[in-house]
Amino acid sequence: MRAVVVRGCGNPASVAVVDGAEAEPGPGEVVVRAEAMGVGYVDVMASRGLYAYFPGPGSSPGLEVAGVVESTGPGVPPGLVGQRVLGLPAFGGLAEAVAVSADRVLPLDDGMEPDVAVALGVNALVAEIGLGRAGIGPDGRVLVRGAGGGIGALATQIAAAHGAHVTAVTSGPDRARALLASGATRTVGRDEAPALERDVDIVVDTVGGPELADHLRLLAPNGHYLLCGAAGGVPSGADLEVIVEMFHSSPTLHAFSLNSVGAADLRASWARVSALVGTGKVTGIVAERYPLAAGPEALRAVERGGAFGKVVLHP
């Protein structure tokens, strides 16, 4: 079985496509035979050795795979064999087949293409559940930081689908155009955002870093700040002290990771995402497609950034 494997973590990482042992389902697991695999920035961080849950050299990155259940392990109903699913492995997903906990396997609607499923994948689930926890509703004022990225683009679409007014903070005219076409009310440049009105109900932040405080200050009274990524670096304690400065406007700061979400909530969110796809208000956008043999190149494409949508591998 071929897989994209990190041989040495670092920047640059040493990554190769290798032929290894077939995937076997352990207790509570299924093996998903891949038809499409999603590549995300988190895989770049893993290959650099910067992601806590990545097992390290010798392992494959990859957190999302769409395909067919090929076999089931002890404790899993054999009736799952043959089902089309989106699987969310704890890494190992850039491979022809991968063992996934049966709790993290989600059914694909008839007609949902594998490429679309992985283009939605982790990003749509983070955006949908995160926005729900922050209380998204019609006419809400939402600001998305890193809006041109994987999570940001889906947060923009999903918030707009709820009837919210979305300000998309992004880095260039092409991304701005694509975000307006995805439902954003307006776009602003990264440098412009800190000077905006302080009237935002929900900030979705996938960037973090030292500018986090400037964006926290944009919250209206009782606003929610959803910190779900750190593409710009991990914020320091000093960046977070602004929450005390803002005490009397009762801000809420949510840290949100999909790792904390249980099986039932994952399934419910995926059903809501699939329903939004059915309405045409949310789409899984594919930026680039590569064969598995070009996996290292696909990782470099994600590392370079700039593409709008998902980088997808095919077996």
Q: Which residues bind to ligand NAP, rule: CB under 6 A?
A: 40-42, 45, 122, 126, 146-152, 170-171, 175, 190, 206-207, 209, 228-232, 256-258, 305
In the numeric block, which tokens belong to residue 204? 């979705």
Distance in Å, CB of 254 to ligand NAP, minimum: 10
Query: Which residue, 164 or 168, has its beta carbon nearer to ligand NAP?
Result: 168
Residue closer to ligand NAP, measured from CB, 222 or 257: 257
Residues 6+ apart with CB under 8 A from 290: 297, 298, 301, 311, 312, 313, 314
Q: Which amino acid is at 28?
A: G
Q: Given the complex with ligand NAP, which of 86 and 126 has the nearer CB atom? A: 126
H helix count then E strand count, the chain: 9, 15
Minimal distance, residue 276 CB to ligand NAP, in Å: 18
User: What are phi and psi for residue 39, nearest 5 degrees?
Assistant: -115, 130
Q: Nearest approach, Cβ of 5 to ligand NAP (angstroms)?
A: 20
Tally Cβ neighbours within 10 Å of residue 28: 15
Return the exposure string of 91-127: e unless at least 16 CB atoms fall within 10 Å of the residue's CB, then b: bbbbbbbbbbbbebbbebeeebebbbbbbbbbbbbbb
We find the least distance from the C-beta atom of residue 117 to ligand NAP, in angstroms, to be 16
Q: Which is nearer to ligand NAP, 80 or 287 (CB)?
A: 287
- Residue in the shown chain whose Cβ atom is closest to ligand NAP: 149
Return d(Cα 2, Cα 19) in angstroms, integer.
4
- Least distance (Å) from ligand NAP to the CB of residue 122? 5
Cβ at position 221, least distance to ligand NAP in Å: 26
Closest of 61, 68, 74 to residue 29, by C-alpha: 74
- Alpha-carbon 200 to chain mean position: 23
Residue whose CB is less far from ligand NAP, 76 or 311: 311
Question: What 3-state class would DSSP assign to 139?
Answer: coil
Q: Between residues 71 and 239, which has the closer beta carbon with respect to ligand NAP?
A: 239
